Amino acid sequence: MARWPQGHIDGPDAKPAFKYELGTLLQGIDDVYLNTADIRYLNYMKSAVDELVTADGAIPTYKPREKELDSMLMGRELLRLYKMTQDKRYLTAATLLYEQFQKQPRTPSGGFWHKQRYPNQMWLDGLYMAEPFYAEYASLSHQPKEFADITKQFALVADHMCDAKTGLLYHGWDESKEQRWADKKTGLSAEFWGRAMGWYMMALVDALDYYPAGDPGRKELLAILDREAAAIIRVQDGKSGLWYEVLDKGRAKGNYLESSGSCMFVYALAKGVRRGYLPGHYLANAERGYSGILKHFIETGPGGEVSLTGTVKVGGLGGEPYRDGSYAYYLSEKVVANDPKGVGAFLMAAPEMEQVRHMR
């Protein structure tokens, strides 16, 4: 909070923007608040959101024409504030985001495009950006029929982007098979990017919180979660307990242990156990991962300030300059300290570990 007053993650002089990086950080802050009941965390989250939402519920920096799923993530903070304050401007803003789902372009199979400028593409990242908010809004507004569509988004990824041999998920899928990064037979990108799978795992455990007990999709998502949990522990590093930037190539030249994906996996495994979505034996993997995070990625400066190191700055497909999804590409992106995506994921993982340990 001292590093980024009022959520100014791009610097004190930069204009605040409605973006997923901030949403990830605020979700972590929110989880810390729920675990501590310390009002400072809620006030921080509220001050960051209030800079982006007007008195009548408009969001000036939101760009609906871009049809990007990334913006949807901030909807969760809007719903949290509405539930806590009953201030209707937050619900108005959340409804504005929700309406994008009705207009979002879709692949021939019915999957949401990741963005308007990425036609017929599903990325793992997009599941976290969209589905937990979609599920929470559907639950809050008593629209149980929406869960069939939410389940479809997860199922399309599970059916088309899963490697039969390892169970791991490829980063992207171009259903049209037209992108240069896409395999001409499958439409899949080439590698298993750690943070991409982390987004998907977190999306599963967070969306499941809002599923009606009797919804048939709930059983389907639980099966997917168990399969992917089994897949990620098979590539968990035996020595450090962490996960690599490219998941299945831990011994390959240039690959490295990466903090944001490791935090996301710890969060998903720990929450999955705590909520009864996963068997209890996965807690041991979460424990090993969390210990590795504290040992390898947490640094304390001379003034007592804490930093999270080892976070890859970004990862994507296509665009300009062009990102081909190759092994060399993922290793070419900058690795930084105190990236909001990594910090947010750590702030989600830590309270989960504290809560699940108290269950013993």
Residues 6 or more apart whose CB falls under 8 angstroms from that of 270 comprise 283, 286, 290, 349, 352, 353, 355, 356
Radius of gyration of the chain (CA): 19
Q: How many residues in total does the chain contain?
A: 360
Query: Cβ distance 234 to 166 under 8 Å?
Result: yes
Distances (CA, A) of 69 to 49, 72, 104, 111, 293: 18, 5, 9, 12, 29
- Beta strand pairing status for 298-300 and 172-174? unpaired
Class of residue 180 by CB neighbours under 10 A (exposed 0-12, middle 13-18, buried 19+):
exposed
d(CA 257, CA 57): 42
Which one of the listed residues 125, 174, 206, 339 is annotated catalytic? 125
Residue type (1 letter), 5: P
User: 18-30 burial, b if ≥16 CB within 10 A, otherwise e?
Assistant: bbbbbbbbbbbbb
Is 125 noted as a catalytic residue in this protein? Answer: yes
d(CA 302, CA 313): 25
Residue type (1 letter), 336: V
Residue type (1 letter), 177: K
Closest to 262 (Cα-Cα) out of 280, 286, 282:
286
d(CA 25, CA 311): 14
- The 3-state DSSP class for residue 266 equals helix
Q: Tell me which residues are annotated as active site.
A: 125
